Amino acid sequence: MVKKIIHSLTLAGMSLVTSFAGLATAFGAAGDPGTVDLPNPVGQTDLFEVIVLILQWAIILAGVVAVIYIIWGGYQYMTGGDEGVKKGRATLSAAIVGLIIVLLAFVIVNTIQNRIFDVEVGGEDLIGEL
């Protein structure tokens, strides 16, 4: 089941990459040869700001995945009998450790962003918008 999901996400990602490559070729053909004039969907021009923005979205995604695994582990624990209790405990333990790592990553990224480099991404903090 998990392998099928990973396979589907990989195919979807590869499709997006090839779509963007085709889009870049189409836009490049309309302008000067060899130049690509695409709009900036991120809205950032500084590399560090783009990296911080990507890290913030990755942290949000990892947090959502950890919560889903906590729910799945609880389901296994409650409905699986003796074997399910063992699997549920293992899943819950791994998900809680993962959630702690995500929270620590959030603290580290925000500390670097705000205290060390004083970078404000997108005019507002991404987490504050959610």
Q: What is the pLDDT of residues 56-85, one digit of tens each?
A: 888 889 989 999 999 999 999 999 888 999
What is the C-alpha separation between 97 and 55, in angstroms, rounded? 19
Q: What is the pLDDT of residue 95?
A: 92
Neighbours of 94 (CB within 10 A): 14
Q: What mean pLDDT do residues 88-105 have? A: 91
Within 8 A by CB and 6+ apart from 60, the residues are: 126, 127, 130
Residue closest to 97 by CA, chosen among 125, 126, 73: 73
Amino acid sitting at position 56: Q
Q: What is the pLDDT of residue 31?
A: 52
Q: What is the pLDDT of residue 47?
A: 76
The tokens for 100 are 């702690």
